[in-house]
Structure 1
Amino acid sequence: MSDRALGETYLSRQPILDLRQEMVGYELLPAGGGTAGHAPENAAMLVCAAYAELGVRSALGRHKAFLRIDAEFLHDDAIEALPADGVVLQLTPDRPPDAQTLERCRMLRERRYSLALAGYEGLDARSSPLLTMVDFIKIDVRGKNPRQLLSLAGPLARLPIGLLAQGVETPDDFAHGRDSGFRLFQGYFFARPEIVSGRRLTASQATLIRLINLAMRDADTARIEEGIKHDPALAVNLLSIVNSVAYGFPQRISSLRHAITVLGRRQLQRWLHLLLMTPAGKAPDAARTPLLQVAALRGRMLELLVGRLRPGDAALAGQAFITGLMSMMPAALGLPMNEIFEQIALEQEIVAALQSYQGPLGKMLALLECFDAEDADGCDQILAGFAGTGLDRNALNACLIDSLRWINAGEEAESRDARP
């Protein structure tokens, strides 16, 4: 598959979580934009191209990629170019499977490929023949009450099959699915908590905001050190982060002030913003906190896109990362953006981007919001304003994969540091 084919659509990703709301994988699929985004055979070809040309496998690491395939592609030899341990092949049959389809599924299972059955609406002629061959069953929970979910999931509970609730958009969706026996969940419910004006911040959040303001105003290191000293958990977290960042550093860290200096102001700001978005008492592990991963991914994508638009502009790239993180702050803190602006000192370029999508940062943020919403037409309209800069569908897809790879690399580094 050529770059031209990859440029015909946007590569969308939908996170898949487990009961602890930890990332298990992503469903990768084309999002709109002409015939390529809607033709099943082109969709299947696209995801193969992404693996071959964009390096999806290395980007996702231990996380699985759920890929939609049609009946025709199921029988294509190209499917065996996909890594058996890295993908889940997702079938959505519109008719009872024939003998050839069943035999192909058996063969793929023998070669250790995982299969998923999507669009399940109960035992019928389409699903029954496949039950002994699939590892996952996906059920769309939208519009279904708890009794209906239990009726669908109940007969499957004793089978060695992972039940995946699709279309989970609210905490109630998650709770009803969990109570019905689902153990995997697909949707963005974790990024849409209630936002309430006037909500009080916790003591730890207030401390972090004071430190963010000091860092943004380039205050003396001694003042920042003093603020961290009053929060022992924060101090330990800082030393842990610096130990990871400064691996191989010739000197031992001698003080919090030394740790702040080694980390650097730019990284310090990023770390504090990430901490502000995590649940109280938890480290900012972007790989394990879904909301934080969305924020970190958006920040990194903005940074990479700005790097393509303004190569060598380190200041704008730094602002881009913070803009991406801050765009998710209302969901993290449960506060409207205007109240966050009253409490956190931000550079004017960042405020303009977040408030009214002004400047290059604002346009990039609007682009990523369309991208996250799978709004291909909106993405195309914004990209048209960057004609001649090299920013196009290909660039957006590549930045997504590079950002996923960056998050995965951070997860692997943290895993190594945690080993005895």
Structure 2
Amino acid sequence: MNNELLLGRQPVLDQHQKLVGYELMLQLEAGDKTPPTYNPSRAAMLICAAYAELGIRSALGRNIAFLRFDPMFFHEDAIEAMPPDAVILELALETAPDAQTLARCRALRERDYSLALANYAGLDERSMPLLNMLDVIKIDIREHDENKLRELAGPLAKLPLKLLAQGVETQEAMELSKKVGFELFQGYYFARPEIVSGRRLMASQISLIQLINLVSRDLDTAKIEDGFKHEPALAANLLRIVNSVGYGLNRRISSLRHAITLLGRRQLQRWLQLLLMTPAEETPDPSSSPLLQVAALRGRMMELLLRHSYPRNGTLADQAFITGIMSMMPTALGLPMHEIFEQIALETSVMEALTSHAGVLGKTLALLECFDADDSQGCMHMLDQLPEAGLSLGTLNSCLVESLRWVNGSTEDR
């Protein structure tokens, strides 16, 4: 499974745009969602296998995995290998549930599993028998206008369950869904904001850019320390980060110079770039911020892929991480890439990768852009463009899980 199929993911957010979890799915070959040989029960079995085989439970941290099952596989014992506190089981029904399915739902509820109903189309023979056992109802908002969404959501408002809007791809769609009563939202709308040329950066962002440039130019620690001294909030944040990581020390760090030395230039640059993508009132927490998670995952996955392909070229792996992070910077800042280049010092190979997908960095970035877009056909095409890298679908799956683990809790090599 790990070498033949691509594990896809769709982020699920709450009303505050905090990451709740991911719907895990299999990306089918050639981008075809319903090929003649597609077997939903086998797909569900492979999702369960992937969850166990790849260690997804620990990789997701506190985030929930939404797993969809067809009625046939819903009765399999393999489902109960999933931890109840870490998954939501989605039941996809085409017809009314039979007595066996209802009994299975009751048994799973007694074992503390949370249940969701996919493809909700109203109070009918398919949904009515299940209502008192559901925690989540999913509605694909792309299939309905506003009036129909209100009609579907209204009767459910007083029930102790949450409505999840599937297919939310724009901010407008998210706002509409929120207005009619949805509490959970699935899609990549947060990564598609308006980009405006000439938009002015906030003072805090300008200060961060100055520090990023100091670090990337490999100046003396004293000059970097002086830059932090002019930004007390950032200095306090730096000390908090280093002290929370610990580094096996018996005493807390109070010196900026010591903190900079312990954290290291590479990690300091990564932390500052993530901080640049964070609202001014918050600290960077990729495990809860969807935009930061996409950026951190893309950066870490690029780094791991390049380490895999070119194990003796640490510089290329470092550039890969920076390329992945920077690819999300226009989204975070609302600025076109060429204006960001005017303010942040980057190496030529990184800039060429970001603007034209040039070189191995650019091709790897294009591969991960397809991966994030659930474009399996695009992934296969880009893997063919990187024959010398020795990458496979299995490599992508493994790097995704390792990157999720890194983002969601592991401080090793941060």
TM-score, structure 1 normalization: 0.93
What is residue 287 of structure 1 aligned with on the other side? 287
What is residue 257 of structure 2 aligned with on the other side? 257
Does the 8 Å contact 1:105/1:133 carry over to 2? yes
**Structure 1 unaligned regions, length at least 5:** 415-420
Code of the residue aligned with 2:274 in structure 1: it is: L
What is residue 395 of structure 2 aligned with on the other side? 395
Query: Superposed, which structure 2 residues align to 1:46-195 within 5 Å?
Result: 46-142=46-142, 144-195=144-195
1:36–1:248 Cα change, 3 Å: farther
Q: 1:280 Cα shift?
A: 1.1
The worse-fitting range, judged by mean Cα deviation, of 243-252 and 171-180 is 243-252
Q: 1:238 Cα shift?
A: 0.8
Q: Distance in 2 between matches of 1:388 and 1:218?
A: 32
Code of the residue aligned with 1:80 in structure 2: it is: E
Q: 1:328 Cα shift?
A: 0.2
Q: 1:183 Cα shift?
A: 1.3
Matched, 1:232 2:232: yes
Does the 8 Å contact 2:310/2:389 carry over to 1? no
Matched, 1:324 2:320: no
What is residue 23 of structure 1 aligned with on the other side? 19
What is residue 12 of structure 1 aligned with on the other side? 8
Q: Distance in 1 between matches of 2:281 and 2:142?
A: 33
Q: Distance in 2 between matches of 1:218 and 1:225?
A: 12
What is residue 277 of structure 1 aligned with on the other side? 277
Q: 1:411 Cα shift?
A: 8.8
1:37–1:219 Cα change, 3 Å: farther
Does the 8 Å contact 1:30/1:37 carry over to 2? no
What is residue 43 of structure 2 aligned with on the other side? 43
Q: How many residues are aligned here?
A: 409
Q: Distance in 1 between matches of 2:347 and 2:250?
A: 35
Code of the residue aligned with 1:11 in structure 2: it is: L
Q: 1:223 Cα shift?
A: 2.0
Q: 1:251 Cα shift?
A: 5.7
Code of the residue aligned with 2:133 in structure 1: it is: M
Matched-pair identity in %: 63
Deviations along 1:248-280, one digit per CA (max 9) or x if unpaired, are 225653422222122111011101101110011
The worse-fitting range, judged by mean Cα deviation, of 183-192 and 387-396 is 387-396
Q: Distance in 2 between matches of 1:209 and 1:38?
A: 49
Q: Distance in 2 between matches of 1:194 and 1:246?
A: 39
Does the 8 Å contact 1:6/1:46 carry over to 2? no
Code of the residue aligned with 1:347 in structure 2: it is: E
Q: Secondary structure at the match of 2:133?
A: coil
Q: Distance in 2 between matches of 1:37 and 1:160?
A: 39
Q: Distance in 2 between matches of 1:148 and 1:220?
A: 62
Deviations along 1:88-135, one digit per CA (max 9) or x if unpaired, are 111121111111211111112122221100111111111111111211
Does the 8 Å contact 1:9/1:37 carry over to 2? no
RMSD: 2.0
Deviations along 1:319-348, one digit per CA (max 9) or x if unpaired, are 111111000000000001111111111011
Does the 8 Å contact 1:286/1:411 carry over to 2? no
Q: 1:49 Cα shift?
A: 1.1
Does the 8 Å contact 1:15/1:23 carry over to 2? yes
